[in-house]
Amino acid sequence: MALEGAGRARTAPAPRWPRPRVTLGYELAAVAAWIAVIALTATGAVHGLHPAAPAAAPAGEAAHHHVIPAHQPHGAPGPHALGFGSLTMWTLMCVAMMLPAALPALAHVGENSLRRRRQRAMAGFAAVYLTVWTGYGALLLATAPLWSRPPGRAVAAGALALAAAWQLTVHKRRALRDCHRSSPLPLSGPRAAAGTVRFGLRHGGACLRSCWALMAVMAAAGGGGAMLAWMALLTGIVAAERFAAAPGRATRLAAGVLAAAAPAVALIPAAA
């Protein structure tokens, strides 16, 4: 009996390592986007989306007609206001801030797709989802000469007040509810690809309706450390609304925080 027990002990199966999450690659992509945004901001390679105020030039240089100013006049498109640089920065911010909120939807796509087309389906969904947000960024950049005419602090404070008000509307609640909905996906053939695209558009549209005002704050935030601080705050709000057990409570709390931040930004230069 002892020998039989020893034999059973020797043939017991080894513990199995847990399988990596299906969304692990996209989680790492969000982390990499955060690192890229921080690095670009720290090195000054990319400025904020809101055109910056003109920097004071030395008296001798200001008189020289060949000197190119460091910034365009306030209210005019800056060097990154309408160009590829800002759209690239916006896309990086969307990957860093909004892709984590899409992880449950990405997991739904991966778990409901055939193994041989799982990665392709998830990549297609992510591409459609981020295209929705990139299109919104392109719209903000194209209209920047209109909404960026007031002083930067006024634009940022107005964007925060708008975001706080939107948080309390019934449209926000409906959009947030739609963000939590999944969709049945066909398993194979052209219908599977079309179903993934439809789900990406539906989910991206719901997230855009829910968070467009929050991301408008990023367009008005300016550059430097202030932009990174706003990114961290708004990412926390988006994550709380997506993953909290009571997303409605997180939405109301976020509205209070944004409403308090609006006058602070308007009155305290450092906050802008």
pLDDT in tens, 220-235: 877 677 788 899 999 9
Cα three-residue angle 143-146-152, rounded to 5 degrees? 105
Q: Give the mean pLDDT of the chain.
A: 79
- Is 204:128 a contact under the CB 8 Å cutoff? yes
Q: What integer pLDDT is reported at residue 48 of this predicted model?
A: 55
Q: Which residue has the higher pLDDT, 179 or 271?
A: 179
pLDDT band (50, 70, 90) for residue 270: low
In total, how many domains does the chain have?
1
pTM, rounded to two decimals: 0.78
Q: What is the mean pLDDT of residues 63-83?
A: 39
| Residue 187 to residues 108, 109, 116, 182, 184, Cα–Cα distance (Å) | 12, 10, 11, 15, 9
Structure tokens that stand for 114 in this block: 């055939």
In this prediction, residue 246 carries a pLDDT of 84
> CA 39 → CA 42, 235, 270, distances in Å?
5, 18, 21
pLDDT confidence band for 22 (50 / 70 / 90): confident
Q: Which residue has the higher pLDDT, 3 or 36?
A: 36
| Residue 68 resides in a domain | no
**Mean pLDDT in residue range 235-260:** 92
Asked if residue 212 is part of any domain, the answer here is yes
pLDDT at 82: 37
177 occurs within a structural domain = yes
**Interatomic CA distance for residues 9 and 265, integer angstroms:** 67
Confidence class of residue 131 from pLDDT cuts 50, 70 and 90?
A: very high
Residue 46 lies in a domain: no
**Is 7 among the domain residues?**
no
Q: 3-state DSSP call for residue 15?
A: coil
Domain that holds residue 227: 25-37+77-271
The Cα 234–Cα 272 span in angstroms is 15
Q: Does residue 196 have a pLDDT over 50? A: yes
Q: What percent of the chain has pLDDT over 90?
A: 46
- d(CA 267, CA 154) in angstroms, rounded, equals 9
Give the contacts of 187 (CB within 8 A, at least 6 positions apart).
Answer: 112, 113, 114
Q: In this predicted model, which residue has the larger pLDDT, 270 or 233?
A: 233
Residue 119 neighbours by CB distance under 10 Å: 13
Task: Note the Cα 244 to chain centre separation in Å.
Answer: 18
Tell whether 196 is covered by a domain.
Answer: yes
Assigned token pair, 6: 């020893």
pLDDT: which is higher, 116 or 166:
166
Please state the length of the chain. 272
Q: What is the pLDDT of residue 54?
A: 38
H helices of 112-243, where? 118-142, 144-147, 152-167, 170-179, 189-220, 224-243
pLDDT, greater one: 223 or 218: 218
Residue 200 forms part of a structural domain: yes
Q: Using the predicted structure, report yes or no on whether residue 81 has a pLDDT greater than 50.
A: no
Does 64 fall in a domain? no
Q: Which residues contact 30 (CB under 8 A, 6 or more apart)?
A: 95, 96, 99, 100
Identify the CA nearest to 133 among candidates 199, 200, 197, 208: 208
**8-state DSSP, 68:** P
